[in-house]
Structure 1
Amino acid sequence: MKINITVLLVSIFLLQTENFSQSFNQPYVARVGSKVITDSEFLERYEFTPGFRRHIKQMDDSNKLEFLFTLIAEKLLALEAKNLKLDTTEVMQFSRKAFERMFVRDKLFQEEIRNKISVTDKELNEATTKNNSKLYVNFLFSQDKDEIDQLYNYLKQGISFDSILIESPEYEEQKEPVEVLFGQMEETIEDSLFRMKVGEFTKPILTPDGWYIFKLVNKSQNLFFTDEDKENAKMTIVRIVENRKLIKRQKEFYAEYFRNKKVDVDGKLFEILAQKISSVFEYKRKNFTYQPNQPTYLDASDVIKIEKEIGDENLSKPFVKFQEQPITLKEFIRLLAFDGFNSKEYKINLIRASLDFQTKRFIEQELFYREGLKRGYHKLPEIQNEIEKWMDNYLFQMLQNQIIDSIQVTDEEVREYYELMNQPKEFPTVVNIIEVLTDNLNIVDTVLSELKKGTDIRVLAAKYSIRDFTKGRNGEFGKFPVTSYGDIGRIAATMQVGDVYGPLKVPEGYSIFKLIEKDTAYVEKPKTFEQVKDQYRQDIAFQKAQMKLTDYTYNLALKYNIELNIPELDKIQTTRLPSFGIRNLGFGGKITAVPILAPNVEWAYRWIMQQNKKVIP
């Protein structure tokens, strides 16, 4: 159902604007019960939540209103979830603590690392000089110090660099000199290269890979013709210099902070956990389809299985033995899953190595978190607001999932639906999409960047998508009714051919898709009941869930009293570029820039009509 929201809302705004001027001294776009949606929250959520047709200027007002109602729906279900005490459940208490850990650590990073670095004009000038040049080098390599020293002696005796290189195994990868740009190499190596004159070579340089001797073959200017090129170059220079100083400061802080700190781990519990994870991952990789480089993740069902097998006695034992408030094995397993523990292998020695790395990383992060607690960072309004934003989204998802899980479909309903639908008839909306499905946020970012450059989504789907049934056809689904595939089908129904949407959070990860076909009607030959009964059961469940969620949200809107401040919403200036962000957290970890929401506005049409009845007798 599509109605002109702006027209319907006009009379409502006349009443509610006065209420807002009396209630708030700060800019808000809406109040939902006890919750307010500030200008800043709306703008941040809007800009980092994917949406289609945002490039059309004439749709700015409609896009903003629809997203506001989507955001209001999240707040309504979050409020009701609290009313139902879902926030007191073990899983929500755990999630709150996990978010607190992340944001307190991030605050410590800002205070101790980011805020303690500065970039001088001299450093920027030196970096700019380097950035204005391209270097072309060859290199000799060895993992043996005696061998590299011997090669260096040959060079000092006058033996030609090229004559040694042509006899070396690394010659094949550098028949043409290797191009080196500012920021590509470790800083001390880079300094050595940029100081050289053409034809000179370095002393042996030790790297994590082994020993290198570089020769500068040629040097050219890096030209920037347009103002945009110059501005991008300037931004790149600042980013590289800042990142290098961040890394240096972080190393200093680690050395200072971890001096004389020691935390033990229970070795027996470690081995039990490693064996259980290895067993679970082996089963999943042998019984489900995985691409060669696709990792296996420790998910909620795995946690339940592992905890059941380990038993309450071992789960309650201290695993990470901090002097105060040690972490039990149960808590550690859940934090491990929350942080996305994964592995491409299941063999026990590799699982041990991966688990050992994650355990050490956890201890570091937990110590940083506890340092942040000592400083009171968890009490700061900015941290509390971040936690509440994410907890609202989690509570919304939890209650929404409970509603969906409560849907029951009887055999009689399926049979009736079959009799109704499985006739030669015209279906109202059938679509076909090309999809990239991934569970990796970095791949999401890469795909969106490539799409902006004009890369064909079929090429990206062939390379990155993990959905089994679209393999071999470059991510293409084939035609399907929009009642299928949950939110993918529902959103595709509102798109135009050529539109791209995503990322959309789905159970398998993140979906980015392009609508390539849309038919308003087509005829399908009848199928047998056995052929379609399972799909029809899913279709009915989805339809019933959507209707129930719409009704539920509408009733919550009446219960909690929504107030809108549309004049304030009109003031907010948004971009027309589809955006998606990943937030890299201080001391490790990443999340999406904001909680991602799928469009949810059907309930709002009923609410608007109901409000207009109050205003217009």
Structure 2
Amino acid sequence: MRNNTLIFILLLILLFENQTYPQSLFDNNEIAKVGDKSITKDEFLQRIELTPQFNKHIKKLTLSLKLEFLFTLIAEKLMANEAERKGFDTSTAIISAANSIEKMFVRDALFKQEIKSKIIIKDEDWIIGNIRNAKIYKSRYLFSTDSAEIQDLYNSLKTGISFDSLLKVRSESNEQQEIIDIYYGDLIESIENKLFELNPGQFTIPTAADDGWYIFFVYDIKEIKYKTREEIETANKKVKDVIEERLGENIQSNFYRKFFSNKKVDVNSELFELLVNKLNSVFELKQKQKLKEDGTLYNLLPEDIYEILNSFPDSTLNKPFIEFEDRPVSFRNFINEFGFNGFQLETARKDFLIKKLSTEIRIFIERELLAREGYRRHLETLPEVKQNVQMWRDYYLSQSIISSEIESVVINENDVKKYYNEKYKKEEYPEEVNIIEILVKDIETTQRVLNEIKLAKDFKELAKLYSQREWTKEKGGEYGFFPVTQFGKIGEAAAKMKIGEISKPIKVEEGYAIIKLIDKKKTRQEMPAKSYAEVKDRLKREIAYQIKYPDLLETTASLAEKFSISVNKDVLESLEITNLNSFAIRVMGFGGKITGVPIAKPFYEWVQKWSSKTKILP
């Protein structure tokens, strides 16, 4: 099917040049026109680069991949045109999603104006950054949320009490079994400034962070040598990124202080309580059914938002919830946008819910005020904003057509369970062991080590003294847990040993290894990552899509007859794309995350059906 489809595509592209529009009517930035919509070079390149594709790494298939992807996007635009014709663009879901996306891009444009454009790196920033980026500070820290307690610890250090003696009796020592390697940019700037002034054996004054107070102690400082051109370029990029991030944070902090001063927005307390109670019942049911995403969080899903909205009468949904002086946000609009942004809880406890919801409402108010400032400046009219919003809106419209097609499909529960069992199987993991190894090069050294072991010398200390394996030497020869199927003869020997047992010398490629088994984990089976109840609805949709796929091909072919299509072959062929598969999450200015682009599933086989309908090919 794939090869036949590509033949059709390659032939069709030659015929598209003079279809519907003369070549001269294409805008310089357009690759294709589909009805009232166009696919620009910017959209095509952005989406093809950030959409993972099969065989993208094979350079000789580049043209085929570009064609497949183009016709996938054309299908999306055809469906978006049809959705508009059917009036889907006036539905609450589409309007809400499009508005939410537009606000994100408007805020992002405001961020570029107020923050990003004002970031200027000075020469002294570069000098300090490069000096710090060439060092590793080997450190540990003392921590307390109590300023008086951290001051007492600092006073004890000044009297000569050793840092390690204070740390070992404190809870934070559990997180610091090994000395920590601290690189440039790892810490907040205020702590880093103090730490990077020290020499080995010195400690910082108590320094505040968001979560409490810290005192860092320096054990050693290692120099990093950047030798190759690639290493130097990577190091320079890191320095630039760290400086820009810190300058941006300072500029944003100052902007926030000015922008949010004297701004007060109230929330309808009665509606807040109604929402808390409804959310609480939804999350309690999830907890009862053990519906945790990724085993850690309960997620509010689109069907939950639909249920919440349907649980309130219109008179309640239309009431003002976020009480801005101008244009208050209704309860309905807040719930829709709240659902679009996503909401997660670790537990269904009501006190946790209230705290998290209060935080989300505060963030909503801040972002709404920022978006309104962006609209006041007419940032929604910027070409980049308009293009991105239109791209996402078309994607949502195309999905509404697909949803309307598959909603009618009735799926048998047994078929869903069978599909689940095929996709989510139990995983079996081999036995794991943790060992200390002493690796030596010759038999003479092996005998010397064995003699010292007989004298009850500490095995870890012997590993530090004798072992030739560099990556374990600093840890006293300890490997950390690994499956017994790894490391060849070493894994095989460890599998047969008891905890505390020391092996005979094992001949390995690097010389001779003597190992001590210090811990063992039995073979285990793990249940599927997601429960059936958790993924049932998504799997139903996948099955329905598979069932309706032939109909969707027919629908798209029919839409191609209805709406005119024209392709700018010269521009398409001239575009250069990388052969790397990439996927990105776009972090928006002033908060919010979305995938870098709408992810379009490969969908180009409709072209063959269209060609047979229109009899373009013999």
What TM-score do you get using the length of structure 2 for normalisation? Answer: 0.76
* Runs of 4+ residues deviating >6 angstroms: 431-436, 462-465
Partner Cα distance (1:140, 1:378) in 2: 49
In the alignment, does 2:471 pair up with 1:468? no
Find the counterpart in structure 1 of residue 100 from structure 2. 98
> 1:359 and 2:422 equivalent?
no
Contact 1:8 1:609 in 2 (8 A): no
Counterpart Cα distance in 2 of 1:138 and 1:14: 66
Q: Could you tell me which of 530, 549, 553 is aligned with 2:552?
A: 549
Question: What is the rounded CA distance, in whole Å, between the counterparts of 2:318 and 2:135 in structure 1?
Answer: 60
- Return closer, same or farther for 1:29/1:133 CA change in 2, 3 Å cut-off: same
Identify the residue that residue 303 of structure 1 maps to in structure 2: 305
Counterparts of 2:169 and 2:13, CA distance in 1: 80
Of the candidates 266, 281, 284, which is equivalent to residue 282 of structure 1?
284
CA distance in 2, matches of 1:102, 1:590: 9
- Tell me how far 1:385 sits from its aligned partner: 1.5
Q: For 1:468, give the aligned amino acid.
A: S
Report the equivalent of 1:395.
397
Indicate the SS of the match to 1:580.
Answer: coil
CA 1:109–1:2 in 2, change beyond 3 Å: closer, same or farther? same
Query: What's 2:2 paired with?
Result: 2
The letter for the 2-side match of 1:2 is R
Q: Which amino acid aligns with 1:17?
A: E
**Residue 406 of structure 2, aligned match among 393, 404, 407:** 404
CA separation of 1:218 and 1:465: change in aligned 2, threshold 3 A = farther
Code of the aligned partner of 1:128: N
**SS in structure 1 of the partner of residue 153 of structure 2:** helix
State the partner residue of 1:420: none
Q: Distance in 1 between matches of 2:533 and 2:173?
A: 41
The offset of 1:89, in angstroms, is: 1.8
Q: What SS does the corresponding residue of 1:597 show, helix, strand or coil? A: coil
Distance, in Å, in 1 between the alignment partners of 2:573 and 2:157 is 71
1:260-409 equivalences under 5 Å are 260-290=262-292, 293-407=295-409
Residue number among 575, 587, 590 corresponding to 2:590 in the alignment: 587
Q: Secondary structure at 1:138's aligned position in 2?
A: strand
The whole-number CA distance in structure 2 between the counterparts of 1:90 and 1:245 is 40
Alpha-carbon offset, residue 343 of structure 1: 1.4
**Structure 1 residues 253 and 614: alpha-carbon distance in aligned structure 2, compared to 1, 3 A threshold:** same
**Aligned residue type for 1:99:** I
| Structure of greater Rg | 2
Unaligned runs of 5+ in 2: 416-420, 427-481, 484-524
How is 1:69-108 mapped onto 2 (pairs within 5 angstroms)?
Answer: 69-108=71-110
Deviation at 1:596, TM superposition (A): 0.8
Residue 79 and residue 190 in structure 1: after superposition, are their counterparts in 2 closer, same or farther (change >3 A)? same
Are 1:37 and 2:39 counterparts? yes
Query: How many pairs were matched up?
Result: 514
Is 1:66 the counterpart of 2:68? The answer is yes
Q: How many angstroms apart in 1 are the aligned matches of 2:599 and 2:127?
A: 41
Q: Which amino acid aligns with 2:186?
A: Q
1:294 to 1:150, Cα distance in 2 relative to 1, 3 A: closer
Q: Aligned letter for 2:530?
A: R
Tell me the amino acid that sits aligned with residue 250 of structure 2.
K
- Name the residue aligned to 1:427: none
> Could you say what secondary structure the match of 1:188 adopts?
helix
Cα distance in structure 1, aligned partners of 2:15 and 2:169: 84
The match for 2:23 is 21
CA drift at 1:464 = 12
Question: 1:141 — aligned with what?
Answer: 143
User: Could you say which residue in structure 2 is the equivalent of 1:222?
Assistant: 224
Would the aligned equivalents of 1:54 and 1:578 in 2 still touch at CA under 8 Å? yes
Counterpart mapping for 1:167-182 below 5 A: 167-171=169-173, 173-174=175-176, 176-182=178-184
Answer yes or no: is the 8 Å Cα contact 1:372–1:378 preserved in 2.
yes
SS in 1 for 2:56: coil
Deviations 1:377-416 (A, max 9, x none): 1222222221111110111000111112245799xxx9xx
Q: Provide the residue aligned with 1:232 in structure 2.
A: 234
Q: Secondary structure at 1:310's aligned position in 2?
A: coil
Task: Point out the more displaced range, 147-156 or 52-61.
Answer: 147-156
**Native 8 Å contact 1:204 1:213 kept in 2:** yes
Which residue does 1:116 correspond to in 2? 118
- Which amino acid is the alignment partner of residue 88 of structure 1? T
2:152 counterpart residue number? 150
Q: Pick one of 582, 602, 607 that aligns with 1:604.
A: 607
Deviating more after overlay: 185-194 vs 152-161? 152-161
Asked if structure 1 preserves the Cα contact closer than 8 Å seen for 2:9 and 2:607, the reply is no
SS in 2 for 1:179: strand
Residue 336 of structure 1 deviates from its aligned partner by 0.8
Q: 3-state SS of the aligned residue for 1:206?
A: strand
Q: Residues 334 and 173 of structure 1: is their aligned pair in 2 closer, same or farther, counting only changes over 3 Å? A: closer
- State the partner residue of 2:132: 130
Aligned 8 A contact 1:3 1:605 in 2: no
Deviation at 1:287, TM superposition (A): 2.5
Q: CA deviation at 1:270?
A: 0.6
Identity %: 36
Structure 1 vs Structure 2 CA RMSD: 3.2
Deviation of residue 120 (structure 1)? Answer: 1.9
* Structure 1 residue 80, shift from structure 2 partner: 0.8
Higher alpha-carbon deviation: 541-550 or 25-34: 541-550
> Which residue is equivalent to 1:561?
564
Deviates more, 1:332-341 or 1:159-168: 159-168
Amino acid at match of 2:2: K
Contact 1:293–1:344, Cα closer than 8 Å, also in 2? no
Counterparts in 2 of 1:565 and 1:464: CA distance versus 1, 3 Å: farther
Contact 2:289/2:533 (CA < 8 Å) preserved in 1? Answer: no
CA positional deviation for 1:235: 1.1
Structure 1 residues 13-22 or 369-378, which shifts more?
13-22
